Structures are given as C-alpha cells and as structure tokens.
C-alpha cells in the first residue's frame, strides 16, 4: 500500500512539474515569436508611391492594440487588426505631404463603423487633413468608390479626382434615426418597466415605456440631424463646388443616385473600373510599362507607413516604456471612448470609472506630466463612474495641470459630465453633445414569471430592503426614493456644468432637460469653447501646459507588457478585443436591412446588460441615436 501511494503521488507531482515546464516553454516560445513578429524590418517605400487608405479600416480615438497585443489576441481567438487611431491617421497624412517618396493619396473601400469608430466628427478631421495635404503639397488625391455610403462620399469629396464604378450607386438619401420601441412586446410577455428621470428630452427610456417618439424627442432629433446634414452638404459644396441647395435637390429627386447621374451632376469626376484607375495611377507615377493586366502600382498601405520610424512619424501605440519613464516634460493624452461603466474592467469599448480614475491619479502625481488632454468619444453611462472620473480631473487642475477636452463624434450626458472639469473644451460642428439629464430604469419580471407558474416570497428587515428586486413593480414610496436619487444627481450635474462653464444654474436648466445638441449649437449656448479637432486641441494643450510644439506625448490606455497580456488571457480575465461590439446579425454599413434591424435590437438589450451603476442612476445619451 505504501508503494502504491508513492507511485500515485510521484505520478501526480511529475504531471504537475511536466505541465509547468510545458507552460513555461510555451510562454517562452510565444515571447520569441512576438519579438520576431515585431522585429521585422520595415519595407522600403519606393519614390513615387501612393499612400493607400482603405476606408474599411475603423477609425477609433483610442489607439488600437500594439503588435504584441494583436499577436496575443489572435493566438487566443480575439483581436481586430482592422483599426487605426485618428491621431495616427492624421499624422500619416500630414507627414505624407512632406515626404518626397509619396506621390499622392489613394482612397478606396467603404466604411464599416464598429463601436464608436468612424463617426462623422472623426471623418471631418480626416477630410480636413486630406484637403490640407492637397493644398500644401499639390500632390493628387484620388478616390475610387463602388457603392459609396454617405460617410464614404463625405470623405472622398475632399479628393481632386473621384472615380465611381460604372455599375455603382451613391447613397444620397439624407440622414435618419429610427428608434425601435419594445413596450408592446414587453407588455405581451409580462415584463414591466418603471422609470425615474429628469429632463423632458431624456429619451433613453422611451423605447421601454412608449410605442413612438415623444414630441420632445422628435424635435431634438430633427434639429440634430438637420445640423449634421448641413455639415455634410457644406463639405460636399467645398469639395465638389456643388451648392448645398443643389445637392439637396439631387438628394430629394434621386435618393439613390446611379453612376451616370452622379457624373452628370458633378458628384464624381469620371466612371471607371478599378484596373483602369490603377492604370492611370501607374502612368502618373512614371511607370512606362502600362498594361491593364498589371494590377499593382507603387504604393504603401496606411498601417505600414504609420509604423515608419523616420521624421516626425510615430505609431499611435509606439510609445515605449523609456518614453514613459524618462525625465522629459510631456503631455498626457487620455482616451475616454465607449460607455462609462462602474468598476475596473479594461474591456474594449468601455470606460471603467475606477480604472480610469486610477490612470488620472497617476498622471496628476507624475511631475513629468505637465498637462492632460482628454479625448472624449462617449455617450455616458453610470452616474457614479462619471463623478469619480470628473473628480480626478478637477484634482488635476487644482494640482496646477491644465485639462483640455477634445470631443469626438459623441460626448454627451456622462461624456459631457466628465468634460465639465476642463480648462477649455473643443468640439467639431457635428459632434453630438449635451444631454444634461438623468434617468433610472427599473424592469421587473413578475408578469412573465407568474404566467409560467413562478412566484416569489421573502422576508426583509426594512421597508426598502428589496427596493432593487426585479420580482415585482416598485411601490409609489419606492419610486419616490429612487426619484430623489435621480433628482439629486441631476442637481449635481447642473452644478458641475454651471461651475465648469461659468453659467448660472438657471442658465444651465434652460439648455439641459436632457436635450442633445450639435457641436455647432453647443458653441452658441456656451457648452463648448471652440470648434476644432484633435490637432487644434493638442496645440492648445501644449501651449497651455508650457510645452513646446515638439513636446513628447504619452497616450493612455498605455500598452501592456507581453507577459502581462499572456497572463490576462490565460487567467480568463481578458475578453477578446472588440467582442463587446460583435453582432450575431452582422455589423457595419453592409449588413442587410433585416440583419441591421435585428442587430440593433441585440445592441439595445446588450447595453442594458452593462448598466451597473450601484444606485441605478444613469447619465447617458438617448437610447437609439443611430444616424444612418
């Protein structure tokens, strides 16, 4: 028997030791592979090359994962290589104008927005960069479109030559927002929903309590879409010299514009197939061996060009640990992109209050960091998390560090709440902002449970001990308790806005009530200080912080060490990158109408799953502001 136990335990420990050795060997191999992958020599860029920008690349504010992070993500079944940061894209375009190897820019493909990427405000910044590239360098910008969406054409209109596939069609239908309402279905299946809210325009809860848009929501959405459509027409007018009124007439008459009409109306330069366009590019690049059989031309893709180490170019995630630890003064650029949630998660697409506040605290305490630029692309979310983040920004200012906010596509509700701590706020004319209001949403499953033979019973030691139970509707007294929480947070929200924007509370009340504004309107009513993009905000932040124009920039979230990434995946703590934005029914501009509608329904209910404020109080953009 003694020998038996010796054999069993010996075998057990041998297996443990073997497993440990294999794991260590595997990690070592992964590290070696990652180093080989990241250590590849940059390809040579030929003189006369075009910088190729694939429009299907998702343009995000937050820097995409580093090469190591992508490598690890792919190993564990996650990862999204099809993304580029806005700052990296703008820097690449600017550098290309000064690079004598670059002949011009070639735009192709079609946007497939994911999460909060490739929004109209970001596209406006890219469009202005392309326009500046052409004006300063006199290098050509060529766009090739097949069936362009409004986003595609908005950016492509900055090109001096636009080619459209002869069988292509252009979407000039205008902008629309079509909320989906669930009250009828919830009533049918016995799911009750009670709400507490402040602000007649705070429409997030409407899909659960109404069967159509309220008059207030309809009015604010009409004005917002009118402002965004106006910016779209202004861009086309500047790029194609088509007056806004004429463009509106084309849109109203045709909706979907066929290729021949697009050429006749001056919307595009010419109709051509891709091989013909490539032939033209090769000829312009000085290649004398012109042949339609050749499908390539001198080119460098955006990702490759952005990783080049020369000149002033820098990859959005290329900030090294040496840069983070050196003694040079620097500006910190912090990205708040996604829904604001309570807690410490680092899942892609979310701004976690505790984790975000910890980053800001470290920056405040770092003497090398002279100022903070906060880039906001968020519809808001948890009220408590928004307060935690805003408080850290206030403390940073009190510590003598300027805080500048640059608003992206959306900086509303909780996204605007955190912006109130800034010394100066920048927004684009087509930024979606405001929505100063608060709500609580209280679903219960009593009906559907009882209909299926399920009942509830319990005991409690206080009148309100089970106030957050979903087994029954809330009593009037309980609703009053929750409404007091909502009213209290709304009062604090207005106080934050009044203090930050130097307005009276009464003035804030007039522009609050949960109403959504465009950046253009927000400037007029005092919610922002200046219209401008990320580059303008960066320049102002450096100057305000007493830093030179070429001062170092560190970006947060910062890249993690390779071993840390491996540990997160092995422990199950790391979610696949962008998994929170995947749809069972397709994603992006190319999903069919039915798939898009089902995908919208999925996203709506997934959003509720991430509502985790401890008190159930939320400052978030109206529920369904999807501009199509």
DSSP letter for each residue of 547-613: --TT-EEEEESPPPPHHHHHHHHHHT-SPPTTGGG--TT--STTS-HHHHHHHHHHHHHHHHHT---
* H-type alpha helices, 139-182: 150-156
Instruction: Report residue 409 as tokens.
Output: 């596509």
| CB-CB contact of 390 with 397 (8 Å) | no
3-state secondary structure of 404: strand
| CB-CB contact of 196 with 617 (8 Å) | no
Distance of alpha carbon 272 from alpha carbon 280, whole angstroms: 11
- What is the value of pTM for the model shown? 0.84
Distance of alpha carbon 415 from alpha carbon 581, whole angstroms: 19
Distance of alpha carbon 288 from alpha carbon 81, whole angstroms: 35
**Residue-by-residue DSSP string for 450-506:** HHTT-------SSTTTTTT-SSSPPPHHHHHHHHHHHHHHHHHHHHHHHHHHT--HH
Q: What is the mean pLDDT of the chain?
A: 83
Distance of alpha carbon 78 from alpha carbon 163, whole angstroms: 36
- Given pLDDT bands bounded at 50, 70 and 90, which one contains residue 580? very low
3-state secondary structure of 70: helix
The residues, any chain, with a CB within 8 Å of residue 416's CB and separated by 6 or more, are 380, 433, 434, 435, 436, 497, 527
pLDDT of res. 114: 84
pLDDT above 80 for 480: yes
pLDDT of res. 308: 72
Model pLDDT for residues 254-312, shown as the tens digit of each residue: 999 999 999 999 999 999 999 999 988 888 766 654 444 445 788 899 988 987 743 34
Distance of alpha carbon 134 from alpha carbon 117, whole angstroms: 25
Please give the residue that has the higher pLDDT: either 585 or 528: 528
Which residues on adjacent β-strands are paired with residue 573?
Answer: none
At the topology level, CATH places domain 174-225+320-456+463-558+613-628 in 2-enoyl-CoA Hydratase; Chain A, domain 1 (3.90.226)
Is there a catalytic annotation at residue 202? Answer: yes
Model pLDDT for residues 531-559, shown as the tens digit of each residue: 999 999 999 999 999 999 999 999 997 65
- Work out the percent of the chain whose per-residue pLDDT is above 70: 76
pLDDT of res. 309: 46
pLDDT of res. 619: 81
Task: Give me the helix-helix angle, 120-137 and 86-98, nearest 10°.
Answer: 10
pLDDT of res. 316: 38
pLDDT above 90 for 246: yes
Backbone angles phi, psi at 103, to 5 degrees: -80, -40
Shortest CA distance to 560 belongs to which of 26, 69, 75?
Answer: 69
Model pLDDT for residues 482-539, shown as the tens digit of each residue: 999 999 999 999 999 999 999 999 999 999 999 999 999 999 999 999 999 999 999 9
- Given pLDDT bands bounded at 50, 70 and 90, which one contains residue 578? very low
Count of residues for the chain?
628
- Given pLDDT bands bounded at 50, 70 and 90, which one contains residue 44? confident
Shortest CA distance to 518 belongs to which of 205, 124, 11?
Answer: 124
Model pLDDT for residues 100-114, shown as the tens digit of each residue: 999 999 999 999 888
Model pLDDT for residues 1-32, shown as the tens digit of each residue: 455 445 545 555 555 555 555 555 555 555 55
pLDDT of res. 317: 40
**What's the rounded mean pLDDT across residues 386-397?**
97
N-to-C CA span, the chain: 75
Distance of alpha carbon 116 from alpha carbon 379, whole angstroms: 9
**Residue-by-residue DSSP string for 249-302:** HHHHHHSEEEHHHHHHTTSSSEE--HHHHHHHHHHHTT-S---TT----SEEEH
Each domain of the chain, given as residue ranges in start order, spans 1-32, 174-225+320-456+463-558+613-628
Q: Is the dihedral of CA 238, 92, 65, 369 positive or negative?
A: negative
Question: For residue 197, what is the enclosing H or E element?
Answer: strand 192-198
pLDDT above 90 for 240: yes
pLDDT of res. 325: 56
Model pLDDT for residues 167-185, shown as the tens digit of each residue: 999 999 999 988 889 999 9
Please give the residue that has the higher pLDDT: either 317 or 396: 396
Backbone angles phi, psi at 134, to 5 degrees: -70, -40
Which residues on adjacent β-strands are paired with residue 132?
Answer: none
pLDDT of res. 598: 54
CA geometry: angle 437, 394, 532, nearest 5 deg: 70
Distance of alpha carbon 416 from alpha carbon 378, whole angstroms: 8
Chain position carrying tokens 């995409």: 64
Is there a catalytic annotation at residue 147? Answer: no
- Please pick, among 85, 92, 149, 413, the residue that the annotation labels catalytic: 413
Shortest CA distance to 194 belongs to which of 603, 453, 614, 483?
Answer: 483
Which strand ranges, in their side-by-side order, compose the sheet holding 299-301? 270-271, 161-164, 141-145, 102-108, 49-54, 299-301
Instruction: Report residue 42 as tokens.
Output: 């940059």
- Please pick, among 103, 124, 150, 202, the residue that the annotation labels catalytic: 202
Distance of alpha carbon 304 from alpha carbon 301, whole angstroms: 6
């Amino acid at each position: 028997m003694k020998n038996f136990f010796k054999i069993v335990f010996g075998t057990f420990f041998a297996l443990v030791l073997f497993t440990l050795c294999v794991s260590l060997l595997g990690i070592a191999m992964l590290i070696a592979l990652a180093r080989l992958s990241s250590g590849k020599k940059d390809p040579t860029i030929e003189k006369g090359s075009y910088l190729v920008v694939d429009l299907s690349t998702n343009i995000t504010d937050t820097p995409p994962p580093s090469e190591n992070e992508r490598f690890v993500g792919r190993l564990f079944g996650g990862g999204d290589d099809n993304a580029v940061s806005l700052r990296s894209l703008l820097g690449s375009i600017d550098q290309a104008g000064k690079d004598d190897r670059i002949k011009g820019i070639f735009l192709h493909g079609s946007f497939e927005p994911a999460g909060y990427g490739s929004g109209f405000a970001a596209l406006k910044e890219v469009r202005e960069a392309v326009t500046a590239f052409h004006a300063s360098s006199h290098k050509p910008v060529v766009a090739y479109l097949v069936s362009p969406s409004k986003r595609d054409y908005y950016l492509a209109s900055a090109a001096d030559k636009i080619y459209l596939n002869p069988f292509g069609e252009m979407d000039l239908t205008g902008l629309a927002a079509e909320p989906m309402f669930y009250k009828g279905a919830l009533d049918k299946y016995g799911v009750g929903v009670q709400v507490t809210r402040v602000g007649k325009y705070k429409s997030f809860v409407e899909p659960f309590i109404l069967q159509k848009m309220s008059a207030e929501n309809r009015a604010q959405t009409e004005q917002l879409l009118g402002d965004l459509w106006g910016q779209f027409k202004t861009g086309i007018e500047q790029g194609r010299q088509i007056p806004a009124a004429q463009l509106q007439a084309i849109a109203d008459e045709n909706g979907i514009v066929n290729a021949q009409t697009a050429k006749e109306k001056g919307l595009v330069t010419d109709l051509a197939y891709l091989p013909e366009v490539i032939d033209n590019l090769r000829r312009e690049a000085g290649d004398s061996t012109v042949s339609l059989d050749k499908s390539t031309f001198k080119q460098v893709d955006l990702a490759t060009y952005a990783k080049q180490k020369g000149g002033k170019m820098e990859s959005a995630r290329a900030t090294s640990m040496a840069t983070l630890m050196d003694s040079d003064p620097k500006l910190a650029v912090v990205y708040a992109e996604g829904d604001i949630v309570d807690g410490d998660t680092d899942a892609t697409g979310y701004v976690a209050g505790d984790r975000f506040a910890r980053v800001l605290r470290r920056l405040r305490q770092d003497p090398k960091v002279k100022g903070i630029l906060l880039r906001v692309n968020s519809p808001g979310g948890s009220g408590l998390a928004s307060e935690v983040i805003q408080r850290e920004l206030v403390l940073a200012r009190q510590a003598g560090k300027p805080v500048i906010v640059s608003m992206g596509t959306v900086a509303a509700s909780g996204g605007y709440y955190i912006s109130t701590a800034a010394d100066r706020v920048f927004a684009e004319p087509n930024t979606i902002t405001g929505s100063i209001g608060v709500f609580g949403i209280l679903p219960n499953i009593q009906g559907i449970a009882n209909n299926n033979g399920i009942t509830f019973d319990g005991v409690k030691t206080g009148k309100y001990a089970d106030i957050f139970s979903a087994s029954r509707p809330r009593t009037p007294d309980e609703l009053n308790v929750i409404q007091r929480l909502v009213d209290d947070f709304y009062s604090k929200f207005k106080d934050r806005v009044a203090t930050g924007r130097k307005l009276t509370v009464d003035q804030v009340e007039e522009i609050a009530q949960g109403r959504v504004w465009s950046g253009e309107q927000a400037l007029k009513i005092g919610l922002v200080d200046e219209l401008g993009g990320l580059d303008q905000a960066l320049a102002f932040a450096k100057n305000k912080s007493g830093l030179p124009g070429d001062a170092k920039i560190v970006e947060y979230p910062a890249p993690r060490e390779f071993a840390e990434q491996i540990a997160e995946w092995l422990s199950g703590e790391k979610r696949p990158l962008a998994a929170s934005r995947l749809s069972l029914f397709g994603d992006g501009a190319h999903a069919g109408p039915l798939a898009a509608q089902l995908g919208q329904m999925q996203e709506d209910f997934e959003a509720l799953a991430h509502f985790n404020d401890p008190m159930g109080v939320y400052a978030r953009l109206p529920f369904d502001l999807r501009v199509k």
